[in-house]
């Protein structure tokens, strides 16, 4: 896979996209869903092509975006897109991202941070399997950026009261 673009994500673009994903997460709470949100950026790293929040325990924000993107766009196009998500993708989501051919992933807070927030909640039984490990197990070099420490407090805010 080769990239047709040379645009790298700036810190400002990352923060803007993470805030957009966090707004999706906040709206999920209003709809009675878990507070996770994700956005898919076009190759210019500015245009938001898709947004999604969690639907259920097996329909996570990232899997929903990966599936919708794979149905809507060509794999070559997706390789130049970036999925931005509030929390580190779980193993299931990482697999869906990999198979959909999205070339770059940005996440705000690590799965270990989420695990501290959710504790032993059966609503979100986290796994200690970093998405990096899942991606490195594949044949495609998915670019991974995260966690983003300067955004962590803002991104975990919707979770603090939710998991109590």
Residues with a catalytic annotation lie at: 62
What CA–CA distance (Å, rounded) separates 14 from 146?
10
Which CA distances in Å does 55 have to 27, 112, 149? Answer: 12, 22, 27
Alpha helices in the chain (DSSP H): 11-30, 61-72, 75-79, 91-100, 111-118, 131-136, 152-162
């Amino acid at each position: 896979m080769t990239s047709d673009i040379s645009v790298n994500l700036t810190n400002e673009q990352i923060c803007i996209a993470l805030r957009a994903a966090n707004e999706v997460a906040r709206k999920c709470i209003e709809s009675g869903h878990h507070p996770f949100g994700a956005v898919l950026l076009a190759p210019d790293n500015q245009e938001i092509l898709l947004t999604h929040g969690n639907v259920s325990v097996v329909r996570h924000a990232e899997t929903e975006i990966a599936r919708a993107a794979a149905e809507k766009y060509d794999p070559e196009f997706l390789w130049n897109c970036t999925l931005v998500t509030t929390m580190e993708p779980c193993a299931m989501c990482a697999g869906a991202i990999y198979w959909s051919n999205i070339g770059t992933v940005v996440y705000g807070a690590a799965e270990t941070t989420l695990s501290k927030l959710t504790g032993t909640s059966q609503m979100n039984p986290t796994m200690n399997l970093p998405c990096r490990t899942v991606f490195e197990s594949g044949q495609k070099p998915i670019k991974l950026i995260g966690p983003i420490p300067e955004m962590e407090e803002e991104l975990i805010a919707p979770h603090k009261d939710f998991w109590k």
